[in-house]
A and B are shown apart, each in its own frame.
Chain A
Amino acid sequence: MDFNLSKTQILFRQMIQEFALKEVKPLAAEIDEMERFPKETVEKMGPIGLMGIPIPMKYGGSGADTLLYAMAVEELSRVCATTGVIVSAHTSLCAVPILEYGSEEQKMKYLPKLASGEWLGAFGLTEPNAGTDASAQQTTAVPDGDDFIINGSKIFITNAEYAHVYVVMAMTDKSKGTKGITAFIVEKGTPGFSIGKKEKKMGIRGSATCELIFENCRVPRANQLGKTGEGFGLAMKTLDGGRIGIAAQALGIAQGALSETVKYVKERKQFGKPLSAFQNTQFQLADMETRIQAARWLVYRAAMLKDQKVNYSSEAAMAKLFAAEVAMEVTTRAVQCHGGYGYTREYPVERMMRDAKITEIYEGTSEVQRMVIAAKLLK
């Protein structure tokens, strides 16, 4: 057992920290304030290989593992949770299912453009009446000659509007319940496919979150992803992987909030001494650091298990559950340590606290993670 990072991981962290600090951090407050999608950051991440980290080199990716990918989302989210989720949704929820379930033709067609960042990816599962109960899909796909005709809508779709490729679930046979769901690859600009309302959110405000609308949208049969009726399983497996990304995002947010707090308490003076000299402050920092370290090892372990190709559902759920709760707790404490200033936009911790909340909700709420973990125990 080895808790040390490898030389490759250390070199990667050196690069990603520098990139995050110089290219991502300076935009974080502005894109939050303006609810602006940081297109320029995506354009910078593409050539470096950050949009295809775990995609094999033969498909134009960087050929790295899930752990390196998780470290990237962590470090990006440490300074800007919006940028973290753009990479996470693109990679875990679009590029990876195409890699794992796509035909060779589909991989050759989509992965090089996704991995280079030329195309952005998204994932459509959630519907107005199918949230945690994802099996209650109402979007339908009916075969018609060489095509499927999709009707329905999806909500809360990350990267929508900016994405070129969408992995979308639809009912192909309602009578079969979850066994009647099939996955499709839908391209931007397909007739009958449009982007609906953009959500105004509490946090991750730079990320685009929109509705997808399908009105007699004709998708070629060649765009079916995986086997007919296996879309629900594909979506659940995809979310297992996605949870590693979101857990890494939560971890990054927490680490970012702690780093800001350490800096602040050394500078801020009250009663004639810096806040860092008070034992209450020290104990707060110690609690935050301990929880973050614990979260980090859960996240890294889940990533390593995915790479070992063993079942990691429960570990990914634990990583996300714990890291998300740590992010919420640490950012709340960080705001408290900053006092009144922490509640203002003069300091980044209020943004981090708003950003942290979503990690307890999307890609499976904390309650869903508990269901996954308990289900394995009681099997």
Chain B
Amino acid sequence: MKIVVCIKQVPDTTEIKINPATGTLIRDGVPSIMNPDDKAGLELAVELKEKHGATVTVITMGPPQADAILREAFAMGADRAILLTDKRFAGADTLATSHALAGALGKLEFDLLITGRQAIDGDTAQVGPQIAELLALPQVTYLRNLSFDGKKTFTLERETEEGYQVLEADAPCLVTVLSTARKPRYMRVKGIVEAYQREVELWGFEQIEVAEEHLGLKGSPTKVFKAFAKASKAPGEVYEADPEEAVGIVISKLKEKFII
């Protein structure tokens, strides 16, 4: 089986700084991590590899420093890593990102394409579904569990607000995974030792065959109107009370504020 996992490097903090002129994130000085939903997706892929035998390819689009999460993916068990990076991809919204990724993914063979549900920096949950549309793949979103019959069919549990649905999909298909679907493994020390000895493939504009008008700022219909940091909330009030008394306090407070 061939599995491709799309991963993204995101800032690991609630104190995200935004460039007021462009409305885009300032990444310098903010620690970066692999997006949690994507990391759970990678765990799922590595588990499938261990159980059924598979090659796991990770791909990310981002600046050169996004290389770090590809090394992390190697240390978690990925076999191949591709960094999609080009000045012409810069400033992309979700649509332009999906065009670039779909262009690259179109060059790869896979039975299962995994993305995270959404990234913690943008929270849009659009890239996975857009890739599926561009590549005309069946898609199952909000995945909380997945199993494979060893031939060509995946059984998928899709979380909904009311509960969950159980679906089946044949390969090839795309799934978007929730961070709660799997607890990602820790990087293996052996994998860390080897991570920087391995090759990360660099792909740019030339490799993906996507028209320039679909890429980067040019290909991004989304215009940021205003970006601002959320004001932090005032500290809450703390009461020490037994459960019965506590219920009374909570209800009176909610009434006080006309919430109930």
A358 within 8 A of partner (CB)? no
B136 within 8 A of partner (CB)? no
User: CB-CB < 8 A to B189: which residues of A?
Assistant: 12, 15, 48-50, 53, 62, 64, 68
A199 within 8 A of partner (CB)? no
Interface residues of A in 60-77 (CB under 8 A from B): 61-64, 68
B238 within 8 A of partner (CB)? no
Smallest Cβ distance from B194 to chain A, in angstroms?
8
Contact A63 B193 (CB under 8 A): yes
Give Cα A11–Cα B73 distance, bound, in whole angstroms.
11
Contact A18/B193 with A11-B72, A11-B75 known, Cβ cut-off 8 Å = no
B192 within 8 A of partner (CB)? yes
Q: Mark A67-91, 1 if CB is under 8 A from B, else 0.
A: 0100000000000000000000000
Contact A11 B187 (CB under 8 A): yes
With beta carbons under 8 angstroms apart, the residue of A19, A50, A64 that contacts B193 is A64
User: CB-CB < 8 A to B192: which residues of A?
Assistant: 8, 11-12, 15, 64
B71 within 8 A of partner (CB)? yes
B205 within 8 A of partner (CB)? no
Tier of interface size on chain A: 20 to 34
Give Cα A220–Cα B5 distance, bound, in whole angstroms.
52
Smallest Cβ distance from B117 to chain A, in angstroms?
22
Give Cα A78–Cα B250 distance, bound, in whole angstroms.
40
Give Cα A49–Cα B76 distance, bound, in whole angstroms.
12
Give Cα A18–Cα B75 distance, bound, in whole angstroms.
14
B78 within 8 A of partner (CB)? no
A7 within 8 A of partner (CB)? yes
Give Cα A61–Cα B188 distance, bound, in whole angstroms.
11
B196 within 8 A of partner (CB)? yes
A57 within 8 A of partner (CB)? yes
Number of inter-chain CB pairs below 8 Å: 51
User: CB-CB < 8 A to B196: which residues of A?
Assistant: 6-8, 11
Contact B193 A15 (CB under 8 A): no
CB-based nearest A residue for B67: A7
Q: Mark A1-32, 1 if CB is under 8 A from B, else 0.
A: 00000111001101100110000000000000
Tier of interface size on chain B: 10 to 19
Which has the most chain A C-beta neighbours within 10 Å: B68, B187, B189, B195? B189
Q: Mark B195-223, 1 if CB is under 8 A from A, else 0.
A: 11000000000000000000000000000
Give Cα A14–Cα B192 distance, bound, in whole angstroms.
10
Smallest Cβ distance from B67 to chain A, in angstroms?
9
CB-based nearest A residue for B197: A8
Give Cα A57–Cα B75 distance, bound, in whole angstroms.
15
B239 within 8 A of partner (CB)? no
Contact B195 A8 (CB under 8 A): yes
CB-based nearest B residue for A63: B193
Contact A15/B71 with A8-B195, A8-B196, A64-B193 known, Cβ cut-off 8 Å = no
Contact A11 B186 (CB under 8 A): no
Contact B72 A19 (CB under 8 A): no
Give Cα A50–Cα B190 distance, bound, in whole angstroms.
9
Give Cα A12–Cα B192 distance, bound, in whole angstroms.
6
Contact A49/B190 with A7-B196, A8-B195, A11-B195 known, Cβ cut-off 8 Å = yes
CB-based nearest B residue for A69: B189
Q: Mark A132-162, 1 if CB is under 8 A from B, else 0.
A: 0000000000000000000000000000000
Smallest Cβ distance from A86 to chain B, in angstroms?
16
User: CB-CB < 8 A to A19: which residues of B?
Assistant: 186
Smallest Cβ distance from A116 to chain B, in angstroms?
11
CB-based nearest A residue for B72: A11
Smallest Cβ distance from A253 to chain B, in angstroms?
22
Smallest Cβ distance from A88 to chain B, in angstroms?
16
Give Cα A378–Cα B57 distance, bound, in whole angstroms.
59
User: CB-CB < 8 A to B75: which residues of A?
Assistant: 11, 15
Contact A63/B187 with A11-B71, A11-B195 known, Cβ cut-off 8 Å = no
Smallest Cβ distance from A62 to chain B, in angstroms?
4
Which has the most chain B C-beta neighbours within 10 Å: A12, A15, A57, A63? A15
Q: Mark B170-196, 1 if CB is under 8 A from A, else 0.
A: 000000000000000111111011011
Interface residues of A in 324-357 (CB under 8 A from B): none
CB-based nearest B residue for A61: B190
Smallest Cβ distance from A174 to chain B, in angstroms?
43
User: CB-CB < 8 A to A61: which residues of B?
Assistant: 190
Give Cα A6–Cα B196 distance, bound, in whole angstroms.
10
Give Cα A49–Cα B75 distance, bound, in whole angstroms.
11
CB-based nearest A residue for B191: A49
Known A12-B192, A63-B193; 8 more pairs at CB < 8 Å: A8-B195, A11-B68, A14-B187, A15-B75, A15-B192, A49-B189, A49-B190, A61-B190
- Chain B residues with a Cβ under 8 A of chain A: 68, 71-72, 75, 185-190, 192-193, 195-196
Nearest 6 CB-CB pairings of A with B: A49-B189, A62-B189, A15-B187, A62-B190, A12-B192, A64-B193
